[in-house]
Amino acid sequence: LLNFCVSTPRWLLVCFGLWLNLTQCSVAQTPRFGTTWEVLASQTRIAGQPLIWNRHQTILLARDGQLLNIPMHEVSEPRQIDDRFSPYQATTIRSQLQTELGQGMEVTHTGNFVVAHAPGKATVWPDRLEHFYRSFVRYFQVREVPVSAPEFPLVAIVWENEADFQRAIALESKAGVQTLGCYQLGSNRVHLFDREPQKADAFWQANRATMIHEASHQIAFNCGIHSRWSPPSRWIVEGLGTVFEAPGVWDSATYPARSDRLNRERLRDYRNWQQTKRPAEAVAIMVQSDRPFQTNPIAAYAEAWALSFYLIECYPREYAAYLKKTTQRQPFSDYSAEERWEDFTAIFGNDVRLFDARFQRFMNEIE
């Protein structure tokens, strides 16, 4: 079972609706958006850009890109330390990560990534990530979707084994999720583990799909395709991640045919889903709610992949416009079922039966 995830810390969900709510501010001086503040919390000085600041909590965007949630009753000595906000350079993040992880891991900094990995793997993981980054950008550029440079260096941690990986992701996400990789919205980090540590040259075999899937989430959330402050519906995020798993998508130069852009594994899952329980309202259900990812994850991933693949192949302009629309919502606001449906139908029309008939015809004909 390949179950991938984007993990959202629970506090991030709870705090939706509180975007820089300054009216309930408990300090004399009111933080202004775009500035850097320092607070003392749990005997530690923490600096960041206030995204939320009210009598209950502050959410600071740290200079390494992590979101820090601090209950206001723990905050003391708040003061503005800069009238701008500037992210750390990769070299600073690199040395901080090295300190955090200790000498058992090696940390390598390349153009866009800061990658922690087992000693001696300095070229393998960073090279693959950079290569994929370029493919990702090119994929959207040829479809005239603007891709911005990431504001923060992209941090990926490749744990040596699954146990270390599970321990690390349990700190932010719900433990016990069966997953091979994870992108965390709060820490902005990708966590992976090396499934074939003995075989550097067979790297692509076992690790490829997971790395590509998780890196696509991270790049999408950092380069303007999705917004970290107002995440899109889950099917859009997972749809894009699964679309990228196919060789014709992450390496279109080597695999130019449309059949190479098919995600064979997801297609197989989709055919099973079609032949068993797929309801006529599957699209509407998925557009309005993320619940299918809990109730029937394999079918949900397959449906998200199929719907995304169909829209990208047949309606690239509309799909791009839809992606853009989802990034323009009010930050930290709830995304209701009604709004989700409105945004979808505004672009793809509200004749759901006609939409599904065309979609199913497309899916039945591809091979």
Q: CB nearer to Zn ion: give 238 or 269.
A: 238
How many residues form the binding site for Zn ion (CB under 5 A)? 3
d(CA 349, CA 185): 31
Region from 3-11, 58-66, 106-114, 172-180 binding Zn ion, contact rule CB under 5 A:
3-11
- Provide the terminal-to-terminal Cα distance of the chain, rounded to the nearest Å: 23
- Check if the beta carbon of residue 321 is closer than 8 Å to that of residue 252: no
301 binds Zn ion (CB under 5 A): no
Shortest Å distance, C-beta 217 to Zn ion: 5
231 binds Zn ion (CB under 5 A): no
Region from 18-26, 78-86, 126-134, 238-246 binding Zn ion, contact rule CB under 5 A:
238-246
Region from 1-9, 34-42, 156-164, 345-353 binding Zn ion, contact rule CB under 5 A:
1-9
4 binds Zn ion (CB under 5 A): yes
SS3 68: strand
293 binds Zn ion (CB under 5 A): no
Q: CB nearer to Zn ion: give 231 or 241.
A: 241
Q: CB nearer to Zn ion: give 58 or 184.
A: 184
Q: CB nearer to Zn ion: give 50 or 241.
A: 241
Region from 4-12, 14-22, 169-177, 280-288 binding Zn ion, contact rule CB under 5 A:
4-12
User: Which of 186, 185, 272 minimizes the C-alpha distance to 220?
Assistant: 185
**DSSP codes, 87-117:** PPPHHHHHHHHHHHH-TTSEEEE-SSEEEEE
d(CA 344, CA 166): 36
Shortest Å distance, C-beta 361 to Zn ion: 28
Shortest Å distance, C-beta 81 to Zn ion: 36
| β-pairing verdict for 44-53 and 36-41 | antiparallel
309 binds Zn ion (CB under 5 A): no
159 binds Zn ion (CB under 5 A): no
Applying CB under 5 A, which of residues 78, 153, 241, 247 lies at the interface with Zn ion? 241
d(CA 90, CA 337): 39
Residue 349 — left, alpha, or beta (φ > 0 → left; ψ -120 to 50 → alpha)? left
126 binds Zn ion (CB under 5 A): no
* Burial environment of residue 323 by CB neighbours within 10 A (0 to 12, 13 to 18, 19 or more): buried
Q: Which residues, including other chains, have CB under 8 Å from residue 324's CB and lie 6 or more apart?
A: 145
User: Which of 363, 326, 329, 342 minimizes the C-alpha distance to 145?
Assistant: 326
Region from 24-32, 132-140, 236-244, 253-261 binding Zn ion, contact rule CB under 5 A:
236-244
Shortest Å distance, C-beta 232 to Zn ion: 13
Q: Give the full edge-to-edge strand order of the sheet including 57-62.
A: 67-71, 57-62, 44-53, 36-41, 76-82
Region from 2-10, 185-193, 297-305, 332-340 binding Zn ion, contact rule CB under 5 A:
2-10
**Which residues contact Zn ion by CB under 5 A?**
4, 238, 241
